[in-house]
Structure 1
Amino acid sequence: MSGMTGAPTGQTRKQRILDQIIQQLSRDLELLLSAARTAHEASIHEDNVPENKYDTMGLEASYVAQGQANRGQEIRQAVQEYRFLTLHPFDDDSPIRLTALVTLRAGDDGTAKNVFIGPREGGLKVMDQGEEVMVITPASPLGRSLIGRQQGDCIETGSGAGIREYEIVQVG
């Protein structure tokens, strides 16, 4: 957790996490665009010219290529959004909002979890000095539970048997 002695805190840590998010998304984009090119080439390759109306190999490859191109555009937009993201400072009394780095402690087993509230790409995980940080968005269930809360608050997320309780240990 970032509150430990010698651990990085504040804007420096968040900038490092932001840089890692951008790097990871950029790598994902490169891989996806390469896969899209391969799928496009497969869709137009002479071996995939339909021999009859039931031969859909080329059509299927073109659908895959289009889906990958669409996802590539989404990642490209996310990279731009993160590049221009302003990291907001937080103190003990600041309500949680976009760009907060939040450390949560699970009520059932005491495990710690670090989340960065970003505009897109919820679920993306990056490592910061041996600690996993997961990106969540304000629209996610956990994000909705955190927005507007403060350090020291407790939240619940999930439903039924899947309800989890967390204490907000730190907001940076």
Structure 2
Amino acid sequence: MGLDKRELMAQLAERLQHSDRLAVRAQIEAREAARSLATESEKKEDGRAAIEYGSLATGQAARARRVQEEISLLTAFREADLPRFNRRTPVALGAIVDVRTEDDTGYDERTFFLLPVGAGTELTGPGGDGFLSVITPASPVGRALMGRRAGESVDVTLAGEVHEWTVLDVA
């Protein structure tokens, strides 16, 4: 697992920045729509629409603030000394973890990158080779994997269904 963690975090930062730009743009558009509806007509219907657009703008502003906080946390984590992991090291923030699960259809292997933010984001390996899912310690998968070592098995509940995963590697 020779993946460049800093490059993967840069990829996540780029995705977060894109999400921030979208939220800011949506906020501006919603605020403008609320203003134009409120001034063009005094109809009751337009007044309700203006309130809804105003609420939408407020929600988008909150989304942008959350994303900006996530970018700050990721930047601080990237700039710190990243911990080094090996097969005997327990899973912690900064670990890339390979797991395998078995079900009725066979085996499924997945790779996770445990970071303080970005849960659910899918990153691509070098040259587009392979995919990694970002998890956080607050996510069900992150909670289950924290502190585990290669060779250990964990039960993970997803969508109300329990899955047994085996940790293959920690890097």
| Cα distance in structure 1, aligned partners of 2:35 and 2:163 | 50
Q: In the alignment, what sits opposite 2:162?
A: 163
The alignment covers a number of residue pairs equal to: 162
| Cα distance in structure 2, aligned partners of 1:13 and 1:114 | 14
Comparing 51-60 and 76-85, the one that deviates more:
51-60
- Runs of 4 or more, structure 1, over 4 Å off, are none
Q: In the alignment, what sits opposite 1:48?
A: 38
Structure 1 residues 105 and 53: alpha-carbon distance in aligned structure 2, compared to 1, 3 A threshold: same
| Cα distance in structure 2, aligned partners of 1:44 and 1:104 | 51
The answer to whether 1:123 aligns with 2:93 is no
Contact preservation (8 Å) 1:107, 1:167 = no
The answer to whether 1:154 aligns with 2:142 is no
Q: Where in structure 2 are there 5+ consecutive unaligned residues? A: none
- Larger helix share, 1 or 2: 2
- Please state whether the residue corresponding to 1:95 is helix, strand or coil: coil
- Larger strand share, 1 or 2: 2
Q: In the alignment, what sits opposite 2:5?
A: 14
The answer to whether 1:139 aligns with 2:131 is no
| Cα distance in structure 2, aligned partners of 1:39 and 1:101 | 39
Percent of aligned positions with the same letter in both sequences? 26
- Please state whether the residue corresponding to 1:151 is helix, strand or coil: coil
The one-letter code matched in structure 2 to 1:170 is: D
| Cα distance in structure 2, aligned partners of 1:41 and 1:88 | 46
TM-score, normalised on structure 2? 0.87
The one-letter code matched in structure 1 to 2:85 is: F
